[in-house]
Amino acid sequence: MYTSHEDIGYDFEDDPKDKKTLKPHPDIDGGWAWMMVLSSFFVHILIMGSQMALGVLNVEWLEEFHQSRGLTAWVSSLSMGVTLIVGPFIGLFINTCGCRRTAIIGGLLNSLGWVLSAYAANVYYLFITFGLAAGFGSGMAYLPAVVMVGRYFQKRRALAQGLSTTGTGFGTFLMTVLLKYLCAEYGWRNAMFIQGAVSLNLCVCGALMRPLSPGMDCDDPQGKAPHHVLPAHSTESVGSSGHLGEAEEKPGGPCTEDTSLGDAPAQACQEKAAHTDMCAFRLLKTVSQLTMRVRKGFRDWYSGYFGTASLFTNRMFVAFIFWALFAYSSFVIPFIHLPEIVNLYKLSEQNDVFPLTSIIAIVHIFGKVVLGVVADLPCISVWNVFLLANFTLVLSIFILPLMHTYAGLAVICALIGFSSGYFSLMPVVTEDLVGIEHLANAYGIIICANGISALLGPPFAGWIYDITQKYDFSFYISGLLYMVGILFLLIQPCIQIVEQSRKKYMDGANV
């Protein structure tokens, strides 16, 4: 119900009684599935990598517009936050248009946002063109990239997601170097214009998101209607197609009588009228199918969030949402504020040789791959790996303020980078909670919660610093909130076990 027929490899009927048996697809866990991993990898490079490298442009914007650091930083935060917050609404596009079209449209919109931002006259202009337009386009391309990998893999989902999301780390390096070079050679405005052209590669990545069933027509809601079926309700249209002959024409029709006499103008008149009828019929058919697709997509999207089959009736998933609200800021805050912390500790020279943020990015790549491989082992639970990585990350956040040497900070940053590799497990955990048919909408909600965390986390840390003149309390508070989110995940299964035991006891007492 939550997926577009374009993007799944199975045939569904509207009537539950007529549903067919799901058939395995040869591309599952192999073949074109690895092209999905490659496509998602480049999407992460172009979107997440670019956003992690926005510090280069932030310096240029400060010098250009002479605004406060807090106001200028909202441009980057807004872009990153909108990319994730729009996740639930992108689920509607996926239900209606499918992952391929959604990603291509997102690539075009993201590129347009970069190009328009090159002509910014002030920071508020960037809020609209870069924060909203480019951010929304990024969201439209990002969610399909994650969902399609989940649909193409069953046995090696964690490894596939881990490999694809390593594009974030690679992109952080590549885009940082690229933007620095472009700004130095051509200025920040031309750099954004060129980056907009580079972002058009998102459309190529979207085009690679081939539906699992190659014979299914995306223009037909049922995925079964052939393209060249002629309408049977009009004998004039059928007879004039030239394939069935004139024997089916009405005997009293004037065009038939003239055609039998070999009148060429009459025959041309007949063919023109038939062609007009066919064009009108096909136009009406296309409009009708598009209307049905939009209505069905909206109905499925709405029922998934607010109907009787709402995802919010899954209490474990609701606990997962609360975790996502607090988790992402604990990763973003160190990434954003470490450069200033290094300056406060007078470690700039050592940090210039090998930046601490680079340590996070490098180890983050290995963390995603290693955790993905470990989680796919048959004797290990994905949930156990996920929770262990979360505990390691929150412990690192608490220890970070206690380190005042470069070596100590480097060790903690390595732990943060490796443990934050659990991001590659988030789609797998989400799918385990709600099922593959709900993955698009469910993961959209999760990244929306992450977006809120990313949007508010860095400004909150800056506000705490303005009050206390220290970043220590920012890490402690974010770590405590993160721990609360983890407790939500741990308590909910215990509550379910207690309720099941109580139900069994009551059933036994009634007997």
Q: Kindly give, in sequence order, each residue whose CB lies less than 8 Å from that of residue 210, ignoring residues fewer than 6 positions away.
A: 32, 35, 100
Percent of the chain scoring above 90 in pLDDT: 21
More confident residue, 189 or 254: 189
Over range 379-390, report the average pLDDT: 89
- Sign for the pseudo-dihedral over CA of 312, 317, 319, 323: negative
On whether the CB atoms of residues 83 and 451 are closer than 8 A, the answer is yes
Given 280, 307, 334, the domain boundary residue is 307
Provide the domain limits for residue 368: 309-497
Residue 269 counted as domain residue: no
For residue 55, what pLDDT is reported? 76
Q: What pLDDT shows up at residue 104?
A: 95
Q: Are residues 300 and 342 in the same domain?
A: no
> Mean pLDDT throughout 29-42?
88
Q: Which two tokens stand for residue 460?
A: 């909150």
Q: Does 3 fall in a domain?
A: no
Distances (CA, A) of 464 to 33, 77, 455, 473: 46, 17, 15, 7
- Whether residue 429 lies inside any domain: the answer is yes
Shared domain for 183 and 317, answered yes or no, is no
Neighbours of 458 (CB within 10 A): 23
| The last residue of a domain, from among 245, 280, 307 | 307
Asked whether 152 and 135 are in contact (CB, 8 A), the reply is: no
pLDDT (0 to 100) of residue 245: 41
On whether both 340 and 410 belong to a single domain, the answer is yes
Name, in order, each residue with C-beta under 8 angstroms of 146's C-beta and a sequence gap of 6 or more: 40, 161, 164, 427, 443
State the pLDDT confidence band at 456, using cuts at 50, 70 and 90: confident
**Which pTM value belongs to this model?**
0.65
Rg of the chain over Cα atoms, rounded to whole angstroms, equals 28
Q: State the CATH number of the domain containing residue 297.
A: 1.20.1250.20
Residue 13 belongs to a domain: no
Whole-number pLDDT of residue 433 = 85
Q: What is the DSSP letter of 393?
A: H
Is there a single domain that holds both residue 297 and residue 183? yes
Task: Identify whether residues 53 and 158 lie together within a single domain.
Answer: yes
Q: How far apart are CA 107 and CA 116, in angstroms?
A: 14
Q: 199: number of CA atoms within 13 Å, CB side?
A: 31
In this structure, the answer to whether residues 336 and 303 fall within a common structural domain is no
pLDDT tens, position by position, 259-311: 444 566 666 666 666 667 677 767 676 767 667 766 666 666 566 555 545 67
Provide the 8-state DSSP code for 276.
H
Give residue 467's region: left, alpha or beta (phi > 0; psi -120 to 50). Answer: alpha
Q: Are residues 356 and 377 in the same domain?
A: yes
pLDDT digits (tens, 9 = 90+) for 153-172: 888 777 888 888 888 888 88
- Which pLDDT score is estimated for 259? 46
The structural domain count of the chain equals: 2
- Ranges assigned E (strand) in 47-143: none
- Give the per-residue pLDDT at 232: 39
More confident residue, 5 or 413: 413
What tens digit of pLDDT does each residue of 123-132 get? 999 999 999 9
Q: CB neighbours of 217 closer than 8 A, spacing ≥ 6?
A: 223, 224, 225, 226, 227
Is the CB of residue 107 less than 8 Å from the CB of residue 197? Answer: no
Confidence band, pLDDT 50/70/90 cuts, at residue 190? very high
Q: Are residues 182 and 317 in the same domain?
A: no
- 298 and 354 belong to one structural domain: no
Q: Which amino acid does the sequence have at 393?
A: L
Q: State which of 307, 335, 367 marks the end of a domain.
A: 307
- Asked if residue 84 has pLDDT above 70, the reply is yes
Q: Does residue 337 share a domain with residue 432? A: yes
Q: How confident is the model at residue 252 (pLDDT cuts 50, 70, 90)?
A: very low
Residues 358 and 375 in one domain: yes
Residue 285 lies in a domain: no
User: Longest Cα pair distance anywhere in the chain, in angstroms?
Assistant: 101
Distance CA 495, CA 425 (A): 24
User: What's the confidence (pLDDT) of residue 500?
Assistant: 64
Say yes or no: 415 and 301 in one domain.
Answer: no
Say if residues 29 and 156 touch (Cβ distance below 8 Å).
Answer: yes
